[in-house]
């Protein structure tokens, strides 16, 4: 089959690789759509921290935002999965350690992250295999576009929940990329007053079209940092109300300084978000009931052969304002 392979920094190409075969407890997925994420870009550039620490090494087959149809099941796997449209958890723990046993498999020290770290190649390919226990069935009402946006949606929903805000309170979101805009959509669905701050004119225009306003004056009852700007974490601390919360989901290529004296003296709670795991069911439900529609965030759907250029920052000339690029491996 065809799959995108990252051989090293700035070295990406579509290659013919062996067809995956589902093992015990696994399923084979025919990928319908896969998303290109900022993490995939960092894998491409070599900036991902996992590459610096040796957790991940080249070659890498990326892609962790996906949906598809189960086309085969391995031994000891329920045949009822056949033919179902599904997505899956990116974070796959060992299942035996104390973290996994207490619901924290997404931070298991021995975890696989599909297409990022460990032994499970990613979904920027025609097919992939994943453990059946990581699957989430998608309702018939969800098309492949929405299905491929469940994973980033789960991250965004976890971020909004972590603010601990209630309806009517004021949330500031730093960043108008996919995660920032998804956070805005989920926050609005929960009755929060949402404002955004960003730099990209097209993304800011899209935010306005979606009914959101740019940030004016505080107070801000919570701040979500969904940027890759190393100065944003400290800015979030400056802007949040004392005694409230900052949620960090964005990552920069370099360490981000935060003055912990200010964190203490403002009595602020800082929360980090890694992975969508606990947010996947809620994201699926919100997409299915129509309270959140992620599809306007898709700027274009491209072919596998176009992914290398997209990772290098070259968006298709025909792309719309949406920040997210999806991939149709069948093209």
CATH architecture designation of domain 2-149+294-327: Alpha-Beta Complex (3.90)
Q: In this predicted structure, what is the pLDDT of residue 16?
A: 98
Q: In this predicted structure, what is the pLDDT of residue 132?
A: 98
pLDDT of the chain, 331 residues: tens digit per residue? 999 999 999 999 999 999 999 999 999 999 999 999 999 999 999 999 999 999 999 999 999 999 999 999 999 999 999 999 999 999 999 999 999 999 999 999 999 999 999 999 999 999 999 999 999 999 999 999 999 999 999 999 999 999 999 999 999 999 999 999 999 999 999 999 999 999 999 999 999 999 999 988 899 999 999 999 999 999 999 999 999 999 999 998 889 999 999 999 999 999 999 999 999 999 999 999 999 999 999 999 999 999 999 999 999 999 999 999 999 999 9
Q: Which residues contact 196 (CB under 8 A, 6 or more apart)?
A: 172, 173, 174, 175, 176, 180, 181, 184, 204, 207, 212, 213, 214, 215
Peptide bond preceding 26: is omega within 30 degrees of 0, i.e. cis? no
Distances 255 to 57, 190, 228 between C-alpha atoms, Å? 21, 32, 11
Name the token pair of 224.
Answer: 């979500």
Pairing of strands 193-197, 91-92: unpaired
CATH for 156-272 is 3.40.50.720
In the block, residue with structure tokens 């329920």: 78
Does the pTM of the predicted model rise above 0.75?
yes
In the block, residue with structure tokens 């189960």: 70
Q: Which residues contact 132 (CB under 8 A, 6 or more apart)?
A: 25, 26, 27, 73, 77, 78, 81
User: Domain spans of the chain?
Assistant: 2-149+294-327, 156-272
């Amino acid at each position: 089959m065809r799959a995108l392979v990252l051989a090293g920094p700035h070295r990406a190409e579509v290659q013919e690789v062996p067809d995956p075969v589902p093992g015990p407890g696994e399923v084979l997925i025919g990928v319908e759509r896969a998303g290109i994420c900022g993490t995939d870009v960092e894998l491409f550039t070599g900036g991902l921290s996992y590459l610096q620490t040796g957790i991940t090494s080249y070659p890498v087959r990326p892609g962790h935002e996906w949906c598809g149809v189960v086309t085969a099941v391995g031994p000891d796997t329920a045949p009822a999965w056949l033919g179902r449209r599904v997505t899956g958890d990116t974070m796959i723990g060992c299942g035996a350690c104390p973290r996994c046993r207490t619901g924290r498999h997404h931070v298991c020290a021995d975890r696989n992250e599909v297409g990022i770290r460990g032994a499970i190649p990613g979904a920027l390919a025609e097919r992939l295999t994943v453990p059946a226990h990581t699957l989430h069935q998608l309702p018939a009402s969800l098309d492949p576009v929405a299905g491929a946006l469940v994973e980033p949606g789960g991250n965004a929903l976890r971020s909004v929940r972590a603010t601990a805000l209630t309806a009517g309170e004021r949330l500031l979101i730093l960043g108008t990329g996919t995660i920032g805009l998804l956070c805005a959509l989920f926050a609005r669905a929960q009755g929060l007053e949402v404002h955004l701050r960003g730099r990209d004119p097209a993304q800011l225009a899209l935010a306005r079209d979606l009914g959101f306003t740019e940030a004016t004056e505080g107070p801000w009852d919570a701040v979500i940092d969904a940027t890759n700007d190393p100065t944003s974490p400290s800015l979030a601390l400056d802007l949040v109300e004392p005694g409230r919360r900052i949620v960090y989901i964005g990552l920069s290529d370099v360490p981000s300084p935060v003055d912990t004296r200010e964190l203490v003296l403002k009595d602020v709670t800082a929360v980090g978000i890694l992975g969508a795991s606990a947010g996947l069911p809620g994201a699926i439900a919100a997409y299915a009931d129509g309270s959140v529609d992620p599809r306007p965030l898709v700027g274009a759907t491209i072919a596998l052969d176009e992914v290398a250029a997209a990772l290098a920052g070259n968006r298709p000339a025909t792309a719309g304002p949406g920040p997210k690029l999806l991939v149709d491996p069948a093209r």
